[in-house]
Structure 1
């Protein structure tokens, strides 16, 4: 039996944390649940991470980076093919949230956790996640030719899609009527 290195185990914890936090949120997920999913003890979990907030932060960072990578790859592909970057990034994101809904749910949990931390006076937590989100914004802004209005519109449209999908609106629901049909999940 091959033993995992601490870095491999840490990676397992991040993946498990995304799954668990995407389902239960920050307050509804215990470190015990994450440790069980990975197959380690809680004391070992805390040798890898300073605490629950550190685990959540790494899971949220990973989620942001994964979404940013999806946008970057779609933008790079669009530039290479001479296609409209906005359409390529939108389609790539739709594929991501259809194929890996945990990413979408983790994003939504991240927004709730930052809001709650800010309300409780913890600004450092939000600062770290805002920095990751701004990297995503910068990739989209570059793809939009540094047009702040288009960047804002693209991300606002995406956020509305996130909310509707998170709330379980089916593709045939009337709430999707104002969307381009390619933006609707499952189409």
Structure 2
């Protein structure tokens, strides 16, 4: 049997946490369920991370990094409309292939709102920094017009909401993304 290093085990915890937090949210996910998914004890989990919040922050940070990397790779060597379409297609493929990536993003927004409502601004600051990596990656690809970045991300958030709500691709709610004559509902 091959033993994992602490760094490899830490990586497996982040991956497991992304899945568990995506599905259960911050408050609805126990560290016990994360430890069980990884196959470690809770005490070992807390040797790798100081607490649940640190695990959530690591999972959220990884989620933002991975989305930003998808945008970077898709837009490499492209500009303007070509970059915009390539990033949009790459993002749609990402959330179709890995729905937990989308759910993790949505859980991040809920966790920040909840923490800030209870007076914890520091938690949100860390997550906003991760989200800014996605923003800056898109802005770099699309150029100096911040309106283009805002519009791209606004469409992305709408996609997140529609997919999260379970609207099928042929539903009329998607009409703004396609030629509406292609839709039946």
TM-score, length of structure 2 as denominator length? 0.94
Gaps of at least 5 residues in structure 1 are 182-187
Q: CA–CA distance in 2 between the matches of 1:91 and 1:77?
A: 16
Mapping of 1:86-105 within 5 angstroms?
86-105=84-103
Q: Could you tell me how far 1:7 is from its partner in structure 2? A: 0.4
Match of 1:107 among 86, 105, 108: 105
Gaps of at least 5 residues in structure 2 are 180-185
Size of the aligned set, in residue pairs, is: 179
- Going from structure 1 to structure 2, the CA distance change for 1:77 and 1:83 (only over 3 Å counts) comes to farther
Q: CA–CA distance in 1 between the matches of 2:52 and 2:111?
A: 12
TM-score, length of structure 1 as denominator length? 0.93
- Runs of 4+ displaced beyond 3 Å: none
Q: Could you tell me how far 1:93 is from its partner in structure 2? A: 0.4
Q: Verify the 8 A CA contact 2:78 2:141 in the aligned structure 1.
A: no
Q: Which residue of 2 aligns with 1:185?
A: none
Does 1:33 pair with 2:33?
Answer: yes
Q: Which residue of 2 aligns with 1:151?
A: 149
- Going from structure 1 to structure 2, the CA distance change for 1:112 and 1:83 (only over 3 Å counts) comes to closer
Alignment root-mean-square deviation, CA? 1.3
Q: Which residue of 1 aligns with 2:22?
A: 22
